[in-house]
Amino acid sequence: MTILSTQQIVLASSNIGKIKEIQAILPEHPIVPQSLFNVTDVDETGSTFVENAIIKARHAALYSKLPAIADDSGLVVDALNGAPGVISARYAGFGSSDHDNVQKLLKELEGVSEEQRSARFICVMVFMAHAEDPLPVIAQGVWEGRILHQPIGSNGFGYDPVFWVPELQCSSAELSAIVKNSLSHRGIALRNLTDLIKARTYLKNY
């Protein structure tokens, strides 16, 4: 039996949308948000998704004294040379809302043709058995799509209303939580992470 199914794990996030998605994907595991331990968000000083996910997982594990899962995710738009990337949550500035970020994105893409609006959501998920874990478990997920000219739908969060899902011919914000979690970058990364942890049974000894 692995640590995922036997021990409480802290989720290194204060983002309500992310917390709901991860708990929905892993409902059978005792995963709790870092806020239960009065752990605040740490500064994301990394230049890559991997660096930021490790920073967040280590911080949550250190102050909760529990194993931690963290993710760093964002939207990568080809026409913007990969922006907003690692600053997706604060694209319009610190303290910006989802609406602010979406509006900035649409403004930056004004005049960009349909075929040049390709984009993808990226998620890197990290598990650390403790704050000094020398070998974090790292998984990633990618969700391909394109950016719409205006928001559609009211589900989800972040850039979901402007992220077109080609295989279903709708925006991410028009999907139910169940369907989104089966397709999304975060769902893919979390399932990959779970498989990697289960494959490394020595983690139960941490």
Contact yes or no for 139/124 (Cβ under 8 A): yes
Neighbours of 38 (CB within 10 A): 8
C-alpha angle with apex 128: 125 to 131, nearest 5 degrees?
A: 135
72 is catalytic: yes
Q: 73: which 2 tokens?
A: 């995710």
Contact yes or no for 68/132 (Cβ under 8 A): no
Rounded Cα distance between 56 and 153, Å, is 31
Selecting among 72, 100, 133, 195, the annotated active-site residue is 72
Pairing assessment for the beta strands 137-147 and 118-128 based on DSSP bridges? antiparallel
DSSP single-letter state for residue 40 = P
Rounded Cα distance between 9 and 69, Å, is 7
The residues that are catalytic are: 72
